[in-house]
Amino acid sequence: MTTPELPTQYTPADVETRSYDRWVSEGYFQADPGSSREPYSLVLPPPNVTGVLHIGHALDHSIQDALSRRARMQGKETLWLPGMDHAGIATQNVVERKLGGEGLSRHDLGREAFIERVWQWKEQSGGAILGQMRKLGDGVDWSRERFTMDEGLSRAVQTIFKRLFDDGLIYRAERIINWCVRCHTALSDIEVEHSEDEGELVSIRYSDEIVVATTRAETMLGDTAVAVHPSDERYAHLIGTHVRLPLTGRSIPVVGDEHVDPEFGTGCVKVTPAHDPNDFEIGRRHSLPSVTVMDDRGIITAHGPFEGLDRFEARPAVVAALRAEGRIVAEKRPYLHSVGHCSRCKTVVEPRLSLQWFVNVSPLAKAAGDAVRDGRTRIHPPELAKRYFDWVDDMHDWCISRQLWWGHRIPVWYGPDGEVVCVGPDESAPEGYTQDPDVLDTWFSSALWPFSTLGWPERTPDLARFYPTSVLVTGYDILFFWVARMMMFGLYAMEGQPPFRVVALHGMVRDQYGKKMSKSFGNVVDPLDWVERFGADATRFTLLRGANPGADVAVSEEWAGGSRNFCNKIWNAIRFALMNGATVGELPADLTAADRWILSRLQHVIAAADAGFEEYEFAKVSDLLYHFAWDEVCDWYLELAKIQIAEGREGTRLVLGHVLDALLRLLHPLVPFVTEELWRAVTGGESAVVAAWPTADPRYTDPAAEAEIIALQELVTEVRRFRSDQGLKPGQRVAARLSGSPLGESENAVRSLLRLEPATEGFTPTARLAVGGVTVEIDTAGAIDVVAERKRLEKDLAVARKEAGQVAAKLGNEQFMAKAPDEVVAKVRGRAAQADEDIARLEAQLAALPSA
C-alpha cells in the first residue's frame, strides 16, 4: 500500500487537476455496445452552443454524473452521451448582435457567409462548454460527442420530416402565428412568454348602436366585420347589416358568432382576421376577407395617414384620429392585460397571418400521453406528470418553420408551377426546383436527440443496445419544450418504444433567499467561480444536497463553503487513517463493540443510499452520507479507534480501512475528485471510477453492538455536559468511579474520551451522574457549582415528570390501548419506563448534591 504524505489541508485545485485526463485516457467513460453487461444509458440535455454553462447546468450534470458513475460501479455498461444544440434562434441572435457591433447585418453577408460566421462562433463557444464539463468532472463518453447539426443528425432530421410528411402529419397552411418583429420569424406557442402588461382599453363607436373595445386600436384598420353573439337580443336585429368602419370608410358586415361573450364589455367585437387568432377563426366561419395592415417589421402598410408608422406609434395616432372624429367613448388606462413576448428577445409578439409548416400533433401527442399513462415511461416526481398530461392532452399543432438561416433547412422543394416535393436523404429535387428558404424550429432536432445521437435512422449497435435510455435528467422548465416532443418523436420513430424509461425532473437553482437568479439582479452564480474557490466536488455536493425531486434548489456561498469543509473533513479522516496504518483486508473475528457498531451502521447506510439513488433523492443521499461520515465515522468511531489503536488492536486498523474504503466508494458519484485521490491512497486500487459499488452485508448487522455504542454515547454526552456546565476545562483531569450496568470493554474508552482518572485514595465524589444504568461518581477536586447543577437537574426533572404524566395518560386511555397498534403501545411503554428511570436518576442526583 502506498502512504503518500497528505497535507493537513485539502486543496481542491491540486486534487481536481490530477484525475480527469487519466479517466478519459483509460477509457472508463467509453461505452461498449458489444459487452454482455446490463446497459445503462442517458443522454445529456445538449446545452446551447451560444453560451457557457450556468449553475443550473451544473446541477443537471451533477445528477447525471452521480447516476452514471454509480451505475458504472454497479457493473453496468454505462453510456452518458454528451453533445450540444445548435439552438437556432438563440445562436443566430448572438451572432447577429456581434455583427451589429461591426455595423453589419446578416443580409450584408448573405446566407452562406452568415452561416459560415455562425459555425466559427460555434467552434469557439462550444469549446468553452467542453472545458467547463471537464472541470466539473462530467464522466461523459467523449468518443460519442454529438451536435444537432452534425451530418448524421441532419440526416435524422430529414428522414423523420419526410416520414411525417408522407404520413400526412406535416402540412403547410396559412394561419395566424406568433410573429417576432425583431427576430423576423414565426414562433411556436411555447416560445411566447405571457406577462401582465399595462395597456389602454379604448371603446370605439362604429355606429350609433355598435361600440367595440380594443387594446390594439391600430388593428381596426384591418377589421372586416363586427361580431355579436347570435342570441344577444340587443344586437340580433343588426346581424346581416353593415356598418361603416371609421377612418377608412370601408363597409363591413355584422355577423353573429358563438365566440362572442355577451357579458363582456358591450357584447360587440371587432373582427381582424389577419391580426388576431380568434378573429381569424371567426373570419373562417363567416368567409370574411383578411386585410393585412402590418408588415413583418410591425410597420403599418394600410394606405392612408398611418402608413409607415410602427405599430406602437400607430396605436396612439389611430386613437387620436378617432377621438377627433368623436368616436372614442371610453378609455381605461392603465389596463392590465396579458401580452405575449418573444422568449428570446422579449419583443412583443404580433399575431400574424402567414404561410407556415406545421406538425399535426394529435396522434403523436396521444401516443406520448399513453406511454406515461401505461408506465412505459415513469415521470419522477409523479406530481409533475399531471402537468405533462395537461399539456400533451391539449396540444395545438406545432408551427415548425422559422424564417431564420441557422438551422436545418426545410427539405421541401417547389416546382415552377407550384409543385411541392419533400426530399428525403439520398434523394435530390427535380431540376429547376427551389428549396424552401426556411429552417426548422430548433426543438425539432432536439426532439430526436435520444435516438439520432445513437445513429438512427441506421440500425446501429448503439441504438440497439442503449435505446430506450434508462433515464432523462432535466429541469421541469423544459418538460413541454423538449421532453414531450422527444416522447412524441421517439415513439413515432422507434415503433412505440419511448425514448426513456424514467424522466427525473429537477428544479431551478435559486439564490440563498430562494430568489430566481438573474443577471440584472446580480445574484447569478458562475459554476466555474465556485469550482475555483471551493472546488468542483464542493460545488457539486452543494447542488446535490439541495436537490429534492422536482423542487428548486437554493444555494449560497455558505453552503458551498460547508461542502468544501466536508471534503476537507473526509480528507483529514483519511490522513488520520493512513497515519495510523489503516489497511484493507480480511476482517478478524475478534472485534470490539465499536468496530462491530460502525460496521453495522455501514450496512444500514449502504442500504439507505441505494434506496435514495433509486428514487432520485439526491438531497437525502447527500445528507445521509454527510452525517454518517461526519457524525458517526469521524466524531465517534475515529475517536474510539484512536484509543483502540493505542491499545494495539489490529482489527481496528482493518475496520478503519474497510469502512473508509466503502465510504469513499459511496461518496464517489457525488464528489468524484477527492474520493478518487483518497481511495487510491487507502486501497492502492486503480480507480474509484471502476471500483465496485458497495453492497450491504447482513453478516455485519449487529443490533447489540449498536445498542452498546448508543449507550456509551449517551453516557459520554451526559458527563461532557456536566463538565461543560461546571466550567471544568476539557484538559482538566478528574477522578471518577464507574459502577452499575456492565460497560464491559468500553469502560476504558469512556475513561479515555472523558479523561477520567481512576478513583484512588481519598476519592470524595462531589457529583453523581447516572445514565442508562451506569453511575459515574466524580471527584472534581473542589466545590462544584451546586446552584447551577441543582437548577439544571430540577429543570430536567420537570421535563421527565411531564413526559411521565403524558405517557401515563396515554396508557390510561382505553381507546388508545384498544386501537393503537401494538408497536406504538410498546413504544409508549418504553417511554414510560425511560421517564421513570430518568425521574429516579435525577432525584438521586439531586439528593447526592452537597448542600450549598
Residues 327-366 that bind RNA (CB under 7 A): 337-338
* Nearest-approach distance from CB 763 to RNA, in angstroms: 24
Residue number, 219 or 775, with CB nearest to RNA: 219
Residue number, 457 or 549, with CB nearest to RNA: 549
Binding mask 118-157 for RNA (x = CB under 7 A): ----------------------------------------
Q: Which of 182, 630, 839, 849 binds RNA (CB under 7 A)?
A: 630
Q: Which range of residues in 362-370, 484-492, 688-696, 815-823 is near RNA by CB under 7 A?
A: 815-823
Say how far apart CA 577 and CA 199 lie, in whole Å: 70
Report the DSSP pairing between strands 39-43 and 77-81: parallel
Between residue 462 and residue 521, which ones bind RNA under the rule CB under 7 A?
477, 480, 510, 512-514, 516
* Nearest-approach distance from CB 273 to RNA, in angstroms: 13
Q: Give the three-class secondary structure for 477.
A: helix
The crossing angle, in degrees rounded to 10, of helices 557-579 and 650-667 is 150
- The closest of 393, 419, 422, 398 to 410, measured between CA atoms, is 422
Q: Which of 184, 237, 284, 386 binds RNA (CB under 7 A)?
A: 386
Going 697 to 699 to 703 to 708, the CA torsion angle's sign is: negative
* Chain position carrying cell 403547410: 172
Q: What are the backbone dihedrals phi and psi of residue 575, each rounded to the nearest 5 degrees, phi first?
A: -60, -45
* Chain position carrying cell 378573429: 279
For residue 720, give every residue at least 6 positions away whose Cβ sits within 8 Å of its Cβ, in sequence order, or none.
754
Q: Which of 573, 591, 606, 750 binds RNA (CB under 7 A)?
A: 573
In this structure, are residues 722 and 770 in contact, taking their beta carbons and an 8 Å threshold?
no
Binding mask 544-563 for RNA (x = CB under 7 A): --x-x--xx-x---xx-xx-
Give the number of residues in contact with RNA, rule: CB under 7 A: 91
Q: Which range of residues in 50-58, 584-592, 604-612, 826-834 is near RNA by CB under 7 A?
A: 826-834
Q: Give the three-class secondary structure for 790.
A: helix
Going 191 to 194 to 198 to 203, the CA torsion angle's sign is: positive
Q: Which of 729, 782, 812, 847 binds RNA (CB under 7 A)?
A: 729
- The closest of 46, 138, 131, 34 to 85, measured between CA atoms, is 46
Q: Which of 142, 391, 414, 763 binds RNA (CB under 7 A)?
A: 391
Q: Which range of residues in 397-405, 418-426, 674-682, 712-720 is near RNA by CB under 7 A?
A: 712-720
* Nearest-approach distance from CB 708 to RNA, in angstroms: 18
Between residue 160 and residue 199, which ones bind RNA under the rule CB under 7 A?
189-190, 193-194
Q: Which range of residues in 119-127, 141-149, 315-323, 722-730 is near RNA by CB under 7 A?
A: 722-730
Report the DSSP pairing between strands 734-740 and 553-554: unpaired
Between residue 400 and residue 459, which ones bind RNA under the rule CB under 7 A?
none
* Burial class of residue 196, CB neighbours in 10 A (0-12, 13-18, 19+): exposed
Q: Give the three-class secondary structure for 509.
A: strand
* Nearest-approach distance from CB 556 to RNA, in angstroms: 8
The three grid cell numbers given for residue 339, joined into one nine-digit string: 401580452
Report the DSSP pairing between strands 401-402 and 439-440: antiparallel
* Nearest-approach distance from CB 691 to RNA, in angstroms: 22
* Chain position carrying cell 402567414: 354
HEC readout, 268-316:
EEEECCCCCHHHHHHHHHCCCCCCCCECCCCEECCCCCCCCCEHHHHHH
Tell me which DSSP letter residue 211 carries. Answer: E
Q: Which of 367, 790, 831, 836 binds RNA (CB under 7 A)?
A: 831
- CA dist list (Å): 479 to 85, 380, 503, 808: 17, 12, 9, 54
Q: Which range of residues in 38-46, 288-296, 568-576, 691-699 is near RNA by CB under 7 A?
A: 568-576
Residue number, 74 or 548, with CB nearest to RNA: 548
Say how far apart CA 507 and CA 546 lie, in whole Å: 10
* Nearest-approach distance from CB 805 to RNA, in angstroms: 12
Q: What are the backbone dihedrals phi and psi of residue 213, each rounded to the nearest 5 degrees, phi first?
A: -120, 145
* Contact call for residue 81 and RNA (CB under 7 A): no
* Nearest-approach distance from CB 632 to RNA, in angstroms: 10
* Nearest-approach distance from CB 821 to RNA, in angstroms: 5
* Nearest-approach distance from CB 535 to RNA, in angstroms: 8
Q: Which of 690, 820, 839, 846 binds RNA (CB under 7 A)?
A: 820
In this structure, are residues 412 and 421 in contact, taking their beta carbons and an 8 Å threshold?
yes
Q: Which of 216, 315, 653, 668 binds RNA (CB under 7 A)?
A: 216
- What is the enclosing helix (H) or strand (E) of 246? none
- CA dist list (Å): 713 to 413, 632, 716: 79, 11, 5
The three grid cell numbers given for residue 220, joined into one nine-digit string: 381596426
Residue number, 366 or 642, with CB nearest to RNA: 642
Between residue 590 and residue 619, which ones bind RNA under the rule CB under 7 A?
619
Residue number, 53 or 804, with CB nearest to RNA: 804
Q: Which range of residues in 286-294, 359-367, 599-607, 723-731 is near RNA by CB under 7 A?
A: 723-731
Between residue 252 and residue 311, which ones bind RNA under the rule CB under 7 A?
259-262, 264-267, 269-270, 277-278
Q: Which range of residues in 3-11, 355-363, 487-495, 742-750 is near RNA by CB under 7 A?
A: 3-11
Q: Which range of residues in 4-12, 34-42, 54-62, 654-662 is near RNA by CB under 7 A?
A: 4-12
Q: Which range of residues in 148-156, 317-325, 781-789, 824-832 is near RNA by CB under 7 A?
A: 824-832
Say how far apart CA 207 and CA 261 lie, in whole Å: 20
* Nearest-approach distance from CB 524 to RNA, in angstroms: 16
Residue number, 266 or 356, with CB nearest to RNA: 266
The crossing angle, in degrees rounded to 10, of helices 672-683 and 557-579 is 0
What is the signed CA dihedral for 168, 172, 175, 178, rounded to 10 degrees? 100
Q: Which range of residues in 93-101, 356-364, 387-395, 415-423 is near RNA by CB under 7 A?
A: 387-395
* Contact call for residue 620 and RNA (CB under 7 A): yes
Q: Give the three-class secondary structure for 77.
A: strand
Between residue 574 and residue 593, which ones bind RNA under the rule CB under 7 A?
575-576, 579
* Contact call for residue 209 and RNA (CB under 7 A): no
Q: Which of 198, 331, 383, 843 binds RNA (CB under 7 A)?
A: 383
In this structure, are residues 478 and 506 in contact, taking their beta carbons and an 8 Å threshold?
no
Between residue 634 and residue 653, which ones bind RNA under the rule CB under 7 A?
634-635, 638-639, 642
Say how far apart CA 470 and CA 303 lie, in whole Å: 60
Report the DSSP pairing between strands 192-205 and 211-214: antiparallel
